[in-house]
């Protein structure tokens, strides 16, 4: 099918440990603020560093308020002509945990508030959408939600798509990653030789994608998907799947490696991710080396929300023409990468954002200034 | 907008507790991979063999995901037991199709949808939109609910394991299967639309559905 429509991001909002909104988020990233803190509650007899939002309010309730704010500011009357696309890794898991740990049985678990669809279910109690769909591909969930939003607007099927990437902290994820021995006891330091691992965190990113350009629009130019077909949790060490996703995103956007100014890496801070992703970048960006940084040392890894939050960071990089640095990167282990060591103002044309997940699910997105 | 799909092949499996007589040993010769497979993974691999689909784009739907791995994790945390890393890696919603991609070396786009009771309807919609690119796509849904004490929350589903696969491509022909009189009350509602199509699939004729987006 011939794809004709351009896709514009006309509104975004977020909350994470790095800030209560997207301005605070970007300021934290540029100023390398300390946002990840030590926790000894989630994992028994073990200290891990996690990213927690500062507001003492349920994340879903904050999400409702932010959707109301979106309606006010975007000049949409309502969501009746909008497709809702949710990306989440755990859905209503923390709700399930509360009920199960208290009652020690499943009897009072509401089956509509447990699964991934719990987010859409909650939103639909307040708002009416034209339709909705929820994606759950672990840490690529909201990157895939954005990719689908681009596809349905490009193909002329929808004019407005609201993408929400959201995940709350839960015992399941924090203890689960601890069982895999990939958690750091300090704020993570992606790409640093002395890295300890990753930080699980929580948050959401909201993006309104439309077929009409507005003031300050950012274009979602391309999406690329691939599967590693290699291992459930270990990405291919040579980054073959990562490379293919980036290549597919370049092809989808009709761009070349020379057009990319900055790569917002998946960069979780685990040894396996660092090697795979950087090998993938090195094998694709041979002559032209864009700046590379991971912002997870500030946001933590928000799992299913990461793709949406990092899409917002990519939009702000383009709007402000500022490339953020790698916080905590002191000793480089993998050569050949143009690591961003200082936050700099520079001309930024296109940003590539990577998201990779369990099962070898890979998604790359390319953003550009709307022309 | 309406998009018509031709169903090229269809297969479904169901069991009150478990689907019996799977060919997992033959389909997954490598024991190191086979022993890690979840029930959903085994069902998906079986269905993919049945509809002869190994490589290409897959749209997978599951409302409750990997319930056994999830319940193992919750119980381990509650009881202060050691949490199994395998349970955690197997608890993500895209587990089953990921194992299938590893087995069949499928490096294509694979999406997992979880939209509650409308999961299979959303799989059909997303699949139809993807199929506009004119490739053959696998649409597959699965629910595996056979865990200890499931009766505490399950009061209506008789078949605790159910899985359905359709191999589809875009079509301009008129629909031959409609969505009226869907009667799959004993199955999870999350698979009712796709199961209805698979049950009405006929080998000796063209099978076309109309998906309203």
Q: What is the pLDDT averaged over residues B16-41?
A: 97
User: What is the Cα gyration radius of chain B?
Assistant: 17
Using CA atoms, how far apart are residues B166 and A119, in angstroms rounded to an integer? 28
Contact B80 A44 (CB under 8 A): yes
pLDDT tens-place string over residues B25-35: 999 999 999 99
Residue A186 vs residues A31, A339, A368, B193: alpha-carbon distances, Å: 18, 21, 34, 48
Using CA atoms, how far apart are residues A214 and A159, in angstroms rounded to an integer? 13
Contact A89 B99 (CB under 8 A): no
Tell the burial category of B212 from Cβ atoms under 10 Å away from its Cβ (0-12, 13-18, 19+). Answer: exposed
Give the CATH H-level superfamily of domain A8-369. Answer: Thiolase/Chalcone synthase (3.40.47.10)
Question: H or E segment at A174?
Answer: helix A171-179
Q: Which domains does chain B have, with CATH numbers?
A: 2-212 (3.40.47.10)
Cβ B62 vs Cβ B94: under 8 Å? no
- Write down the residue that tokens 């309730």 correspond to: A61
Contact A172 B132 (CB under 8 A): no
Q: Does B114 touch chain A (CB under 8 A)?
A: yes
Facing residue for B153 by CB, picked from A111, A155, A180: A111
Q: Chain B residue with minimal CA distance to A360? A: B98
Domain boundaries, chain A: 8-369
The 3-state DSSP class for residue B7 equals strand
pLDDT the model gives residue B184: 82
pLDDT the model gives residue A72: 95
Using CA atoms, how far apart are residues A40 and B62, in angstroms rounded to an integer? 34
Active site (annotated) includes residue A301: yes
Contact A359 B78 (CB under 8 A): no
The complex scores an ipTM of 0.97
Phi, psi dihedral angles at A167 (to 5 degrees):
-150, 135
- Nearest-CA neighbor of A200 among A58, A305, A355? A305
Tens of pLDDT, residue by residue, chain A (371 residues):
666 799 999 999 999 999 999 999 999 999 999 999 999 999 998 999 999 999 889 999 999 999 999 999 998 999 999 999 999 999 999 999 999 999 999 999 999 999 999 999 999 999 999 999 999 999 999 999 999 999 999 999 999 999 999 999 999 999 999 999 999 999 999 999 999 999 999 999 999 999 999 999 999 999 999 999 999 999 999 999 999 999 999 999 999 999 999 999 999 999 999 999 999 999 999 989 999 999 999 999 999 999 999 999 999 999 999 999 999 999 999 999 999 999 999 999 999 999 999 999 999 999 999 98
pLDDT the model gives residue B181: 84
Question: What is the DSSP code string of A322-339?
Answer: EE---TT--SB-S-S-EE
């Amino acid at each position: 099918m011939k794809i004709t429509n351009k896709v514009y991001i006309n509104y975004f909002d977020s909350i994470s440990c790095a800030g209560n909104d997207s301005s605070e988020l970007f300021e934290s990233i540029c100023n390398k603020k300390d946002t990840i803190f030590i926790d000894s509650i989630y994992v028994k007899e073990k200290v891990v560093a996690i990213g927690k939002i500062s507001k003492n309010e349920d994340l879903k309730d904050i999400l409702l308020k932010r959707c109301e704010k979106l309606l006010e500011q975007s000049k949409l009357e309502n969501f009746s002509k909008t497709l809702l696309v949710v990306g989440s890794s755990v859905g209503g898991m923390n709700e399930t945990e509360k009920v199960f740990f208290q009652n020690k049985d499943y009897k009072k678990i509401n089956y509509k508030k447990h699964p991934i669809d719990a987010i859409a279910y909650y939103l639909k109690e307040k708002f009416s959408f034209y339709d909705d769909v929820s994606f759950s591909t672990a840490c690529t969930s909201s990157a895939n939600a954005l990719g689908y939003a681009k596809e349905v607007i490009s193909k002329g099927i929808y004019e407005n798509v609201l993408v929400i990437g959201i995940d709350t902290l839960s015992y399941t994820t924090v203890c689960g990653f601890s069982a895999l021995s990939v958690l750091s006891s300090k704020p993570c330091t992606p790409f640093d030789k002395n890295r300890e691992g990753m930080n699980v965190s929580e948050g959401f990113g909201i993006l309104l994608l439309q077929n009409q350009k507005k003031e300050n629009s950012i274009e979602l130019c391309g999406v690329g998907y691939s599967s590693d077909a290699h291992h459930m949790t270990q990405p291919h060490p040579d980054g073959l799947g990562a490379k293919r996703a980036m290549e597919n995103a370049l092809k989808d956007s009709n761009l070349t490696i020379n057009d990319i100014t900055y790569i917002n890496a998946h960069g979780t801070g685990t040894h396996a991710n660092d090697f795979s992703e950087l090998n993938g970048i090195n094998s694709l960006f041979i002559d032209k080396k864009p700046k590379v940084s991971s912002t997870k040392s500030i946001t933590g890894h928000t799992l299913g929300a990461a793709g949406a939050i990092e899409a917002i960071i990519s939009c702000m990089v383009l709007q402000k023409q500022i490339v953020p640095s790698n916080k905590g990167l002191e000793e480089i282990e993998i050569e050949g990468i143009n690591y961003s060591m200082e936050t700099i103002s520079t001309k930024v044309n296109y940003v590539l954002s990577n998201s990779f997940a369990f099962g070898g699910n890979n998604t790359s997105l390319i953003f550009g200034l709307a022309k | 907008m309406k998009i018509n799909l031709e169903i090229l092949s269809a297969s479904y499996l169901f069991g009150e507790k478990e689907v019996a007589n799977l060919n997992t040993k033959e389909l997954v010769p490598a024991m190191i991979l086979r022993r890690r497979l979840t029930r959903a993974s085994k069902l998906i691999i079986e269905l993919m063999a049945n509809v002869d689909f190994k490589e290409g784009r897959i749209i997978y739907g599951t409302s409750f995901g990997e319930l056994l791995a999830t319940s193992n994790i919750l119980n381990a945390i509650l009881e202060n037991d050691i949490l199994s890393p395998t349970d955690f890696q197997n608890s993500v919603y895209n587990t089953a199709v990921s194992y299938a991609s590893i087995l069949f070396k499928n490096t294509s786009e694979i999406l997992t949808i979880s939209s509650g009771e409308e999961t299979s309807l959303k799989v059909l919609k997303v699949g139809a939109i993807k199929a506009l690119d004119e490739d053959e796509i696998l649409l597959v849904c699965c629910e595996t609910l056979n865990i200890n004490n499931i009766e505490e929350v399950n009061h209506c589903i008789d078949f605790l394991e159910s899985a359905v696969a359709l191999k589809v491509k875009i079509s301009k022909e008129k629909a031959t299967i409609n969505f009226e009189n869907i009667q799959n009350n004993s199955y999870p509602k999350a698979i009712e639309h796709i199961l209805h199509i698979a049950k009405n699939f006929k080998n000796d004729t063209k099978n076309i559905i109309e998906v309203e987006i």
